[in-house]
Structure formats: C-alpha cells, structure tokens
C-alpha cells in the first residue's frame, strides 16, 4: 500500500488544497492530510476547526485520513510510516520555497521522496491568504473555498465575529 502525506496550515482549506488531494488519490492508496500547527502564524481558525472542515470535505473518501500535527514534517512522515511527501505548487515562488525546505528535510530523512503537484490553471490564484483577505474586506469567496464546506466556514467566521 502506498501512502503519502500532504501537510499544511489549511487556514482555511481551499479548492486548491482539494485539487491536490484529488490528484494524490490517483497515485496513492492512502492520503494523510495533516493540519500542521505553525506557531509562527496566527491562524484564523483553530486546528480542530480546520480538521473538521477537511474531514467534512473528504468524508466520502475513506482513503483520506485527516490529522493534526505539531512538529517537523519528517517526524510526521515517520509516524505515518511513509517517505512520500506531497507539496502543492502554484508558481515559481512556491517551487523555490518548497525546494529549499525539501533540501533541509532530506538531510534529516535521506529516503524522503517529495512530490510536487502543480496547480491547475484555474486554481493558480487560490490561496488561504486570498480567502482571508476576501473575508477581511467582505468580498465574494467565489470558488476559493470548496462548496461542501463553505457554509461551515462562514458559520465559524460568524462565531468569531469576523
């Protein structure tokens, strides 16, 4: 059985994230989607809210497992007993960032295999930051947040009075 990890902040999960997981399902038997705790970021949603949205988004896909993890990605890969780490890339900036991170991680886990999934043309502009800015300025979310979780996401924002 081939398993991969796709980790990120997912604050909030976007249609771009959904597309990366869908691509992974064409390659792997199991996809672990990990909500990473990043103390350097001030998230809009809690880890449990982000995990809830991801679980709902992929509820009809039993081969997708959602988890929350605090620590280094290589430790998560070891815990999940896989060497395959998937990264979504939208542009050259993402590629350069992910490659620098990969080279550092490879020193810690020489057997690591990192796989880049490029964004589809209609998803290149989508980012969690764009969604947060749309919320901040009370602008339309368009298709940036998957329809399956959009209502829950907006309810979470109302609870936070955002």
Residue 140 has pLDDT above 70, yes or no: yes
CA proximity to 20, closest of 161, 130, 120, 141: 120
Q: Tell me the sheet residues that pair with 65.
A: 32
- pLDDT, one tens digit per residue, over 29-80 is 999 999 999 888 889 999 999 999 999 999 999 999 999 999 999 999 999 9
Mean pLDDT of the chain: 95
Q: What is the mean pLDDT of residues 98-112?
A: 97
Instruction: Identify the pLDDT of residue 27.
Output: 97
- pLDDT, one tens digit per residue, over 23-33 is 999 999 999 99
Q: What percent of the chain has pLDDT over 90?
A: 89
Instruction: Identify the pLDDT of residue 57.
Output: 98
Residue 161 has pLDDT above 80, yes or no: no
Instruction: Identify the pLDDT of residue 40.
Output: 83
Instruction: Assign residue 113 a region (left: φ > 0; alpha: ψ between -120 and 50; beta: otherwise).
Output: beta
């Amino acid at each position: 059985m081939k398993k991969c990890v796709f980790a990120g902040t997912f604050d909030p999960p976007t249609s771009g994230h959904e597309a990366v997981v869908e691509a992974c399902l064409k390659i792997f038997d199991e996809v672990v989607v990990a909500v990473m705790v990043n103390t350097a970021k001030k998230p809009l949603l809690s880890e449990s809210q982000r995990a809830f949205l991801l679980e709902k988004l992929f509820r009809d896909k039993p081969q997708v497992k959602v988890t929350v993890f605090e620590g280094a990605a290589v430790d998560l890969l070891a815990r999940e007993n896989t060497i395959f780490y998937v990264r979504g890339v939208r542009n050259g900036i993402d590629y350069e960032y992910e490659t620098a991170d990969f080279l550092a991680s490879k020193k810690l886990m020489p057997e690591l295999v990192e796989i880049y999934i490029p964004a589809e043309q209609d998803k290149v502009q989508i980012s969690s930051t764009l969604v947060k800015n749309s919320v901040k300025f009370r602008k339309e979310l368009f298709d940036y947040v998957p329809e399956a979780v959009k209502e829950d996401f907006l309810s979470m924002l109302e609870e936070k009075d955002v």
